[in-house]
Structure 1
Amino acid sequence: MSTLVAVLIALALPARAHEVRPAIADMTQDGSRLVFDVRLNLEGVLAGIDLSAVADTNEAAEADRYDALRALSDSALADEARADWPGIAAGIGILAGPDRLTPMLSGIVVEPQQNTDLPRDTILSFTVDLPAGADAVTVGWARSYGTLVLRQQGVDDPYTGYLEAGATSDPILLTGGGAVGGWEAFVRYIPVGVDHIVPKGLDHILFVLGLFFLAARLRPLLWQVSAFTLAHTITLAAAALGLVSIPASIVEPLIAASIVYVAVENLFTDGLSRWRPFVIFGFGLLHGLGFASVLAEFGLPQGAFIPALIGFNVGVELGQLLVIAVMALCVLAAVRVDRGQGAPVLAQGLYVGLAVVSVGVCLWSPSALEIALENPAWVFFGPLAAVFALSTLSIRSEPKPGAYRRFVAIPASLFIAAVGTWWVIERVFL
């Protein structure tokens, strides 16, 4: 039980933290200058946080500095940015051919956000002077500044790029025509969709796991995943096309409530009820709106809207299938023993070893792993250690029938329901 409580706290904490979001830059040509308006979390940059290595600012060693900056008034924060502008500009690499262009600060607008527990957006405006004859530029963004969404404005077929931390854009034609093609947009947005599930979508991960733990059989899982996929595809497309818009303050608590529902229902049945696929379809509509909020942050390329949307949705599906596949592999030995198909001694030894490895990763995780996961390692490997421990208990209880359900599926569902309940409370009242 203590392990379960510790894991519960571990997964609940990231939902409270100051989420790291992509910076969004609009680039417009004004005569011989380029004008950039960048919406970003300025406190994170000023605090020196490596925004590529954390999913929320509370995880960073510089969290205290971040909180002190977050507590400043809007005008005081702007003053801090002006004083530190040379250092900020050093992380912005804009080149026209071989010439590195110097960013010159032109404005800072700190958007009011009274609740200091929430991130505050700032629009940082700067210009660069173009050398004579320049017809294209490349834009680079320091790795520590996190992900950058770069959007060209005021031209036909504008460039839109999703630059991972530390990446540099392709050459951007100043006269336009640099929009990505349909196939390229499709391919580029697949990893964006995957990334929104694994590692960033902890709430979507728990919902999918709630579907998985209903029963250790393929048919109920296929029915549920099919209903969920169809539903979130509909609302994702509708929201991205601007046909529907519901505030996140409504959608996010309902998504958390959907996690609670599927997990609690798992406690009372081990089979697919007549109404469950329809309920999951309804919850899938909500999750689609949650997925759409990610796209709304940075938009889709105008000239390849549909391919990019499809690519993002394919990425979401791949992320969900990855979650299911990993958990299926984790509990496979316990399920086989429960069905009388595996050797208990070998399976028990396997789970003890996996639990030890998972705990070891939690305690001594390399920084490269945490950068890849965009979360502390214990957020993922803590729950895995608990699953392996529960699977060991399931095997030790053999030959009692239904051991997997009693010792793995039900405790896992209780844990998922508890986290979902906390998220409902947090998203409504905190």
Structure 2
Amino acid sequence: MNAEAALVGGDPSEALRSARYRELRRLVSTELESELHEFINSWKGTLQVDANGPIELSYEGSRIPVVGNPDVVRISRVLLTGELPSGASALRLTWPADSGPMVLKQQGVDAPYTGYLDGGETSPLIPLQGGAGLDARQTLETYFPKGISRVLPHGPEQIIFVLAMLFLSVRARPALIQYLIMVLGVTTAATLGTYQMIGVSEAASAQLLPITIVVVAVWNLFARRLGFLRVFLVFLAALPHGIALSDSLSKVGIPPDRVPPALLGYLSGALLAMLAIMISAYFVTLLLSRGSHRYRGRISILASMMIALIGVYLSLGPYLPI
């Protein structure tokens, strides 16, 4: 688990904004363990495991890596044990609300169960002897809606980025070409990131994403045509977004034997959500412009200016005294 995120509220995406989270990242293992010990003894009461009746869990200890690079998440291991009642053949686990997402993986059996739970969700009944493992199709179907929810409503940078691409000219052909180039860039970077071939720190990613928005939006103010340089720019700008999606997928957790379908499902959901945003904005713009190319151009310029300002705000937001 991400122990530091758990100590400040559970959801890693929210914890990143907390000064307390950054402080905990820098604690040595022994200091963090003392805080984690107290937290787990209270928190485990909200972790419900049922196997023909509730199972009482006991905290057996934790293993926390050394600090290393404080900008990189360190994964701590916490051991909780509980005694199964005689005759139990299956169990069901309810993950505590406000504890962020988790991957539940059964081990030591054939065809183990692997699933994904958000805070407050309950797993299906898991046979203790195995056989409940997700196949490739089930994995894809499980991660597809997670990809959608990553963008809608939790991906403002991706939403604004596709709008910046659209408002180059608000025409179907350039928008579609840019979207396809973005898909190529996002897929390439996300695949390399998932297999840990490339990566950037969370702090660098938080700065890169708004920069891509500003650059693409400002381009719209000076050029209206789709050329090679614009296509190349969109591809380069899509790379940080792909890395960000791979980072968010790694926080969700990927079954080690189902990486390709999990990645495919997650990216398909995220990219489909981005396409839906672009299409919706396209038709709204056509409706507002009433078919007039002049009004469409004015809307594009105004929207691009607003998007660029939003990108600047997202970039400077962490440093503003608000």
| Match for residue 288 of structure 1 among 238, 242, 257 | 242
How far the C-alpha of 1:197 sits from its partner, in A, is 1.1
1:213 — aligned with what?
167
How far the C-alpha of 1:425 sits from its partner, in A, is 5.3
CA contact (8 A) 2:110 2:130 kept: yes
Distance 2:16 2:207 in 1: 22
Change (3 A) 1:117 1:232: closer
The reply on whether 1:322 has 2:276 as its aligned counterpart is yes
Residue 130 of structure 1 aligns to a residue in which SS?
Answer: coil
Distance 2:4 2:111 in 1: 25
| Match for residue 200 of structure 2 among 242, 247, 253 | 247
How far the C-alpha of 1:221 sits from its partner, in A, is 0.2
1:199-348 counterparts in 2 under 5 A?
A: 199-242=153-196, 244-248=197-201, 249-336=203-290, 338-339=292-293
User: Which sections of structure 1, spanning at least 5 residues, go unmatched?
Assistant: 1-23, 25-37, 340-401
1:413 — aligned with what?
304
| Partner AA of 1:95 in structure 2 | D
The reply on whether 1:56 has 2:56 as its aligned counterpart is no
Residue 8 of structure 2 aligns to a residue in which SS?
Answer: helix
Residue 99 of structure 1 aligns to a residue in which SS?
Answer: coil
Residue 150 of structure 1 aligns to a residue in which SS?
Answer: strand
Distance 1:177 1:40 in 2: 34
How far the C-alpha of 1:127 sits from its partner, in A, is 1.3
CA contact (8 A) 2:186 2:239 kept: yes
The reply on whether 1:99 has 2:57 as its aligned counterpart is no
Change (3 A) 1:88 1:120: same
Residue 165 of structure 1 aligns to a residue in which SS?
Answer: coil
1:61-210 counterparts in 2 under 5 A?
A: 78-79=33-34, 82-83=37-38, 85=40, 87-96=42-51, 98-108=52-62, 123-210=77-164
| Partner AA of 1:419 in structure 2 | I
Distance 2:286 2:59 in 1: 57
Change (3 A) 1:155 1:302: farther
How far the C-alpha of 1:93 sits from its partner, in A, is 0.8
Residues 217-237 of structure 1, C-alpha deviations (whole Å, 9 max, x = no match):
111101100111122122322
Distance 1:311 1:201 in 2: 17
Residue 284 of structure 1 aligns to a residue in which SS?
Answer: helix
Change (3 A) 1:145 1:310: same
Stretch of structure 1 that moved more, 326-335 or 200-209: 326-335
Change (3 A) 1:154 1:40: farther
How far the C-alpha of 1:151 sits from its partner, in A, is 2.6
Alpha-carbon RMSD across the aligned residues, in angstroms, is 3.7
| Match for residue 6 of structure 2 among 28, 42, 47 | 42
Change (3 A) 1:118 1:413: farther
**Higher alpha-carbon Rg:** 1
Residues 235-277 of structure 1, C-alpha deviations (whole Å, 9 max, x = no match):
32233244x2222355553333221211110011222133211
Distance 2:40 2:199 in 1: 37
CA contact (8 A) 1:142 1:165 kept: yes
Distance 1:85 1:195 in 2: 29
The reply on whether 1:403 has 2:321 as its aligned counterpart is no
Change (3 A) 1:118 1:287: closer
Distance 1:79 1:111 in 2: 14
How far the C-alpha of 1:158 sits from its partner, in A, is 3.1
CA contact (8 A) 1:40 1:122 kept: no
CA contact (8 A) 2:4 2:25 kept: no
| Partner AA of 1:214 in structure 2 | L
| Partner AA of 1:414 in structure 2 | M
Q: How many residues align?
A: 318
Distance 1:103 1:280 in 2: 51
Distance 1:133 1:257 in 2: 59
CA contact (8 A) 1:105 1:125 kept: yes
Change (3 A) 1:113 1:87: same
Residues 358-399 of structure 1, C-alpha deviations (whole Å, 9 max, x = no match):
xxxxxxxxxxxxxxxxxxxxxxxxxxxxxxxxxxxxxxxxxx
Change (3 A) 1:56 1:326: farther
Residue 138 of structure 1 aligns to a residue in which SS?
Answer: strand
User: Which sections of structure 2, spanning at least 5 residues, go unmatched?
Assistant: none
How far the C-alpha of 1:167 sits from its partner, in A, is 1.1
Residue 196 of structure 1 aligns to a residue in which SS?
Answer: helix
Change (3 A) 1:71 1:186: closer
Residue 125 of structure 1 aligns to a residue in which SS?
Answer: strand
Change (3 A) 1:245 1:176: farther
| Partner AA of 2:14 in structure 1 | D
How far the C-alpha of 1:177 sits from its partner, in A, is 3.3
Residue 258 of structure 2 aligns to a residue in which SS?
Answer: helix
TM-score, L = length of structure 1: 0.63
Change (3 A) 1:164 1:329: farther
TM-score, L = length of structure 2: 0.82
